[in-house]
Amino acid sequence: MPSPDIVPYAMPGAPSLPVDGPAWSIDPRRTALLVQDVQKYLLRDLRDSAPVGELLANIGRLTRSARSAGVPVVYAVRVPGQRGSGGSGGGGAGFGVPEPPAEADAVDVAEVVRPQTGDTVLTVKRYSAFAGTRLRARLKELGRDQLVVVGVAARTEVLLTAADAWMQDLEPFVVADAVADRTAADHAMAVRWMASTCAAVTLTGSVVEALRGRRAEAEAV
């Protein structure tokens, strides 16, 4: 039972973002949006310590903007207990849960960011959404070589997926206010590490603006 003194940490804003990192720019014609592990049971487990409401609101803005701009949306859902050699068999999203849910509940994504017709949904076995899935092949089919990553947990799923994307010659972007973790320290560590090694770190508003530019361009044709 969490302490009543626990208050969810605040999402990072522009002043707290790392200043280093790649100088890439989001091109909606090259980009796909990846939503990682936003299942209800994981979000319930985070709600006492992480800004889950803001996380879902920002992911919702991003998914709506992506679909409006014709940017593919891909979901990665890690089912508890599934793993390959060397992987984790824990509760999922980089941390265990007291009672891992049945498989049907484990893939139940929060309503406000639920996949829609035309989205791709992948079941993953390890922290990286590329490990043992068709994600790389799907991005190639879609003609995308940039990947905007959001979801939980920042220090495991998001971090390792971004690193994996970079090692596969993709350009990963991590949206700092659309990822979450157990603590502000874990969140900040993950964002700093990714900015210094493998990913461009940005904010929801900046991504929405980039996607809106593509929508305006399409409507003007």
Active site residues per annotation? 37
Distances (CA, A) of 220 to 3, 64, 168: 54, 20, 35
Beta strands in 31-182 (DSSP E): 31-36, 73-78, 120-124, 146-152, 171-180
Question: CB-based contacts of 104: which residues, under 8 Å, 6+ apart?
Answer: none
CB 149 within 8 A of CB 174: yes
CB 182 within 8 A of CB 50: yes
Residue 36: strand, helix, or coil = strand
Q: Which amino acid is present at 2?
A: P
CB 89 within 8 A of CB 81: yes
Q: Which helix (H) or strand (E) holds 126?
A: none
Cα distance between residue 184 and residue 194, in whole Å? 15
